[in-house]
A and B are shown apart, each in its own frame.
Chain A
């Protein structure tokens, strides 16, 4: 195929966006912090600081435990989803994506609604109360987010296994166990490993669960960086050095994840193995069904608990009474602005960020359409900012751009940009994967009929991935609606969003009724976006 180098120009906008708003600020942060801390001496100081060491240890312990359990539970669920067909499979596959879209705060509050003192499950099975706080609670929250990720990645691996090859093994005398070993074990474990590594990264770098469920003794590196920069310590240089150490410590895991992700992506043109009926009568079928059912029940319990508590708060009160209080003057005084204003801010940032993400994705899409190799490295490059983590990203953005921007743009522009950066990899993946898989003949036909290359892309390629375009936009919107960590770092009371308001109510004012009601509101918004994504059979690709 003729190489059109002009198409590479369409990668410039997304490269510039990531470069200017992630890589450059981060590099500046690390450089200035290192210089101010005496270079290597600053890094040595991190290693010698007991609080920093504790944060690093907590990150690895929480990340490692969460990843191992997520793989143990997510792998069989993924096999059930990806390899077998059964009633409700498509719906379950969609529902499993929901926790990924939920704000982390809502998941934590849901966990507390189930297992903390006064929790719905704890009241029935008191021993399960250990999941209401501490390390079990943190790991539980991480699992609720991340088991679906492992399951979906494993399911993708299943789809990449050749059914023809399996059948050949059978006709050659190989048992099902042999077929598993020789044909489909490897792609599924590549998926599970990729999911496990992503779980490790998300969990090790989490912010809200350790903060709310355990406090400073369970602080991860993210929490520690925040405390150093914003807390009483007020040691921004130390925070910057710790951020650099964090990037270096997690670089191998990120590289491994990106490598496996590249392996996992279905080859363009390769036909996915069609699912076969679940063997209900065999132990393996029963086992897979049981684990999957357990995951679905856990997710459903979380969501229902949040919704229930939003209308029937812990400690009693009238049904739905707190909803009315959400919009009262007293609540506005607590939050520093009215809830409708917070909702407006949330929507503004989320819509703005998703618009930017979508525009960048569509532009970059021209460079990756029908070129799977290019789609591969573009997708991988976009994941690099994730390594920075939301706190470090916000920290770097503030340090670099605030002196330049000035005024209120310091806040709203940086919040919008941070949400865009964080949503960009996942939203663009929803677009790049189907674009890279398009056969070239149709767009080439358009060119032979008189359409220029970019017109052929807009007119012929993009409509064929319409679902990907809509999904990318809605996915970015959902992530923006629930984004908390980076926003909390950057926000001022005037620009408070609903997730930040939720955190302020839950940690600082201890108003359980209001917290539960607001969590319910946020959950309903995310559910609505999820339904919009799923309406018409669209699917998000992770």
Chain B
């Protein structure tokens, strides 16, 4: 649907986006995730043809979008965009939603019906005559979505649409996006700095870091097989360890890290330096009792140095010569009687460790 090739944008001397290559497929929900200031907004603005790239090309449905303002306007009118901070015009909700139709010269007789069905889609039927500036943030954002959807765009772009909203409004908007995608087959491209949200909604995601697209893939790829340390940290991989492969028996490698060693599934030959990525959910904590047998290959004894409560979960840091971080439920923490200084065993299955050979 949208193909981006070699796209860059500079502001003065600074590169905001560098050499972005990306393909958005028709009908998918694609999420751009990345920390604030990584270039997500800039990329979305370029795709909506609001700004001009310094270099590179964007193809919309096979058509090169570089051209006169008229060409760009015609392509822009096949998309809809929702901004992080919803801007409504100081008039009624119905008139706000009708703008896209008015600009396109739609038949005035059809406008009220189309506005009503757009408002119905976002669950704001009956709000037609309300003044848009009196709505709450979540309602304004839904008006912004209705306003973008009323023209039935092929692509809907959303720039951190829920960044300023409360959890209830956020959930409403997330459900709405799924409904739009499945009912109207609109291709949706949205950015977020909230990985969990990306995970809930997206078919595929792209991680953007310092203006570069660091990784594109399915959720599983990005969460369990991150490319490199920065992506890993951003997607919540807490334990990142560097070591050297000692032996490798039919794909089961032994990696030495400090005084400990880890068994991992990786094709790397002995002598190779590798980085291990371990998600905290994959680490389990138990009290050592000596006798218990288990299929878990990696068991390290250590003492707890830090406990951070995250509501229903607790993030436990275990010092096993190197810090290993585990995420366990608050209830099991209580049952095991864990506290700082407790000696525990941290276990990780060999298959749960993602290994990347260092270049």
* Binding partners A and B: no
Q: Which chain B residues have a beta carbon within 8 Å of chain A's beta carbons?
A: none
Q: Which chain A residues have a beta carbon within 8 Å of chain B's beta carbons?
A: none
